[in-house]
């Protein structure tokens, strides 16, 4: 009993420090925000010593950047790479709530949150947020083109703006706003895709 019983089961928390840190980041940055989450608390939740954390990430800023980089766990693919859906339906699927079993609100888009909290457009995390958002808009534009939209780039940018609007408004109003965005998206999509040849019901 010199210095044993470190972990909950007596087992050491061990090797996966980096992943545990990033996991705790995802949880705490979402629940409390970046600025209100101290490194001490973060390390406690991750069950990692502070020293270890700073051996993996030179600074909190670097951790925040990596946190953003590691965020999209196939979220983009899950929406865009669905061969079961027609392009038009894929565009609409981007506005569907993920697993809205409970009455929880869609969590604030972490990219917008980071941009607002860090408040410096030159911060690496802010730059990455910009890149990511641009990639999303490009993906939307590609799908719009696939769907036969007349101005796919424009539609992509419009839909991206709707997604950001829904995220921001959900946060500020404390009310789910994605359905509203989805309704707008439907209008825009139908307006942007010219009356197709033998397509299904477009009258509604």
Q: Please report whether residue 113 would count as binding a second copy according to CB under 8 A.
A: yes
Residue 54 binds: one of a second copy, DNA, none (C-beta under 5 to 8 A by kind):
DNA
Select from 59, 150, 175, 191 the one that contacts DNA (CB under 7 A).
59
**Under the criterion CB under 8 A, does residue 125 sit at the interface with a second copy?**
no
Asked if residue 79 lies in contact with residue 100, where contact means CB atoms within 8 angstroms, the answer is no
Given a contact cutoff of 8 angstroms between Cβ atoms, the answer to whether 151 and 173 are in contact is no
Q: Which is nearer to DNA, 67 or 95 (CB)?
A: 67
- Binding flag, residue 188, a second copy (CB under 8 A): yes
Cα angle 28, 94, 75; round to 5 = 45
**9 interacts with, out of DNA, a second copy, none, CB within 5 to 8 A per kind:** none
Q: Is 54 in the site for DNA (CB under 7 A)?
A: yes
**Contact status, residue 95 vs residue 166, Cβ threshold 8 Å:** yes
Which tokens belong to 110? 């972490």
* Alpha-carbon span 54 to 60, nearest angstrom: 8
Task: Find which of a second copy, DNA, none residue 30 binds, CB within 5 to 8 Å per kind.
Answer: none
Q: Does 90 bind DNA (CB under 7 A)?
A: no
CB of 8 to DNA, least distance (A): 11
In terms of DSSP H, where are the helices of 48-120? 50-56, 60-69, 75-80, 87-93, 110-118
Among 8, 9, 51, 103, binds DNA (CB under 7 A): 51
Q: CA angle 121-39-169, nearest 5°?
A: 45
The verdict on 117 binding a second copy (CB under 8 A) reads: yes
- The verdict on 79 binding a second copy (CB under 8 A) reads no
Rule CB under 7 A: is residue 204 a binding residue for DNA?
no
CB–CB of 182/111 below 8 Å? no
Positions in the binding site for DNA (CB under 7 A): 2-4, 6, 11-18, 36-41, 47-52, 54-56, 58-61
């Amino acid at each position: 009993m010199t210095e044993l019983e470190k972990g909950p089961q007596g087992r050491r928390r061990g090797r996966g420090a980096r992943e545990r840190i990033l996991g705790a980041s995802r949880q705490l940055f979402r629940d409390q925000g970046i600025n209100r989450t101290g490194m001490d608390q973060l390390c406690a939740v991750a069950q990692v010593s502070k020293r270890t954390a700073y051996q993996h990430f030179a600074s909190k800023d670097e951790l925040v950047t990596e946190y953003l980089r590691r965020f999209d766990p196939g979220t983009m693919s899950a929406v865009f790479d669905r061969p079961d859906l027609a392009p038009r339906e894929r565009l609409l699927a981007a506005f569907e709530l993920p697993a809205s079993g409970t009455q929880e609100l869609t969590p604030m888009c972490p990219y917008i949150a980071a941009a607002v909290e860090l408040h410096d457009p030159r911060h690496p995390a802010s730059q990455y947020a910009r890149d990511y958002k641009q990639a999303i808009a490009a993906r939307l534009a590609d799908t719009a083109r696939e769907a036969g939209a007349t101005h796919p780039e424009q539609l992509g940018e419009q839909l991206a703006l709707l997604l950001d609007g829904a995220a921001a408004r959900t946060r500020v109003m404390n009310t789910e706003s994605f359905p509203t965005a989805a309704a707008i998206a439907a209008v825009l999509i139908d307006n942007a895709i010219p009356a197709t040849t033998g397509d299904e019901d477009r009258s509604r």
